[in-house]
């Protein structure tokens, strides 16, 4: 066991963090997505806690009904490259490469009908922090992709939010995307901008607006932890977002929260509860 996994295991079992997550909520989520029959399921990382083979195996087993039924695109999270070994061996790709759209350009890409989805991977194995860093090659590949004459909407997916719930740069050293500003500069210079930036990492979900230098605003959506245990006293619940991209270029957002039984529309509208 890598030393970092010893710390992670202590966090899960001695400090009790494993109780923050619920297999029941995760299975209810899978049933909910099956019932919604979306055109695309977008998974923004952290399928595992410690990038263990057993965790990936279970994730694949549980997700299989969805993988068989609907298009799925996923990007890894920092927990999916938890150790240097998992990062070097690219463990997540060994299990989920068919859903990551990797074409050798350094970024993930897939088209589903008129939609283009682009995935970035800023994750890296670090000793004590949970920060991410986008390699220059990915920033260049993204700039090239956004310069192509792409018809239809573009969704950009990456595990780390580029801004936080208050619209501030999410780049702090312990948990943030260290070069979030460099990503914003690529988006600033791009002739095409994503309709939506979908992210994860921050367990309390939020919706924020990234405003570019020319005034264009891109919604940054973190649906929240999709596998969280139902903890009403702590204000915590598993969540998922439903993004409807309409032909006229507008987008309708819905969010569902786990109520201990199943996933129900968030009271007051998407992200209204603050959970």
Per CB under 5 A, residues contacting Fe ion are 46, 77-78, 201
Are the CB atoms for 209 and 218 separated by under 8 Å? yes
CB of 200 to Fe ion, least distance (A): 6
First to last CA, the chain: 35
CB of 220 to Fe ion, least distance (A): 15
Nearer to Fe ion, 173 or 215 (CB): 173
CB of 45 to Fe ion, least distance (A): 6
Nearer to Fe ion, 77 or 205 (CB): 77
Nearer to Fe ion, 22 or 48 (CB): 48
Task: Fill in the DSSP letter of residue 76.
Answer: -
Return the SS3 of 193: coil
Q: What share of the chain is helix, strand, coil (3-state, %, to 5)?
A: 30, 25, 45
State the residue number with the nearest CB to Fe ion. 201
Are the CB atoms for 260 and 266 separated by under 8 Å? no
Return the SS3 of 271: coil
CB of 258 to Fe ion, least distance (A): 19
Are the CB atoms for 55 and 63 separated by under 8 Å? no
Nearer to Fe ion, 77 or 224 (CB): 77
């Amino acid at each position: 066991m890598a030393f970092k996994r010893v710390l992670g295991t202590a966090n899960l079992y001695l400090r009790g963090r494993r109780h923050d997550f619920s297999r029941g909520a995760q299975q209810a989520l899978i049933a909910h997505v099956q019932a919604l029959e979306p055109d695309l399921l977008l998974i923004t990382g952290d399928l595992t806690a410690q990038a263990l083979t057993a965790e990936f195996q279970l994730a694949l087993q549980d997700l299989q009904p969805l993988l068989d039924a609907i298009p799925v695109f996923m990007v890894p999270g920092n927990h999916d490259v938890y150790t240097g070994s998992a990062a070097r061996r690219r463990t997540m790709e060994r299990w989920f490469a068919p859903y990551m759209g990797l074409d050798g350009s350094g970024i993930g890409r897939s088209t589903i009908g008129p939609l283009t989805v682009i995935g970035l991977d800023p994750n890296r194995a670090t000793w004590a922090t949970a920060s991410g860093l986008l390699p220059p090659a990915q920033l260049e590949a993204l700039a090239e992709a956004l310069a192509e004459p792409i018809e239809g909407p573009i969704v950009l997916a990456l595990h780390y939010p580029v801004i936080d719930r208050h619209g501030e740069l999410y780049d702090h050293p312990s948990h943030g995307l260290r070069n979030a500003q460099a990503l914003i500069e690529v988006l600033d210079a791009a002739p095409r901008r994503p309709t939506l930036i979908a992210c994860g990492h921050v367990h309390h979900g939020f919706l924020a607006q990234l405003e570019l230098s020319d005034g264009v605003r891109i919604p940054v959506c973190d649906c929240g932890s999709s596998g969280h245990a139902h903890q009403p006293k702590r204000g915590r619940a598993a969540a998922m977002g439903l993004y409807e991209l309409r032909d006229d270029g507008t987008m309708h957002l819905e969010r569902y929260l786990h109520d201990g039984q199943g996933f129900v529309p968030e009271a007051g509208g998407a992200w209204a509860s603050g959970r």
